[in-house]
Amino acid sequence: MSAIESAIPMASPYLPLFRRYLRQQGLPVTQQREVVADVVFTSSGHLSVEEIESRLKERGERIGKATIYRTMEILVRSGLVEDHDFGDGFKRYEHLFGHHPVREHLICTHCRTVTEVQDRQVERLQGELARRHGFLAARHRLEIHGLCADCQAGGVTLQYKGLTCPALDVA
């Protein structure tokens, strides 16, 4: 088997990027890490570790949460995957392929719906702000927390708890 081929059938074309990152970092390229990365690369949306675990089970893979968490940490560090905290007490992950222009996130604090929107003006603003500060921008992240149109129509009102820093809620 050549270095380009994978032990995983129908593997994502992005898997070699992750493999290269692991090698560059001197980390072992294990089949478990590859399968976890492949599940994330071939999924759309925002996956929790639980969801990743159940998709692995559907593929007949039994991989422990510790390995999943560790692999997600490496994937985030590699820049191939972004982690989100949408305020529901755990992280969600999404791969960054096909995300141009970058998507912004509108997060409903009541029903937890996450709406992705694209806006050229935000992109432009990133460039402008960066330039003004002599900063070279690579990427940015915009998350707006509040109430979606459906929840507002259903009579839900804004509660400040949902808007505080999740780290403060723990105390």
Residue ranges in contact with Zn ion by CB under 5 A: 94, 108, 110-111, 116, 148, 151
Read off φ and ψ for residue 115, nearest 5 degrees: -105, 130
Q: How far is the CB of 41 from Zn ion (least distance, A)?
A: 14
Cβ(80)–Cβ(123) under 8 Å? no
Q: Taking the complex as a whole, how short is the minimal distance between the CB of residue 110 and Zn ion, in angstroms?
A: 5
Report the alpha-carbon distance of residue 119 to residue 23 in Å, rounded: 36
Least separation in angstroms between residue 49's CB and Zn ion is 16
**3 or 117, CB closer to Zn ion?**
117
- Residue 139 CB-half CA count within 13 A: 12
Q: Closer to Zn ion at the Cβ: 53 or 94? A: 94
CB of 124 to Zn ion, least distance (A): 20
Min CB(76)–Zn ion separation in Å: 14
Beta carbons within 8 Å of 110's beta carbon, 6+ residues apart: 147, 148, 151, 156, 162
Q: Which is nearer to Zn ion, 39 or 108 (CB)?
A: 108
- Closer to Zn ion by Cβ: residue 35 or 47: 47
β-pair partners for 146: 108
Q: Which is nearer to Zn ion, 111 or 125 (CB)?
A: 111
What is the 8-class DSSP label of residue 102?
P
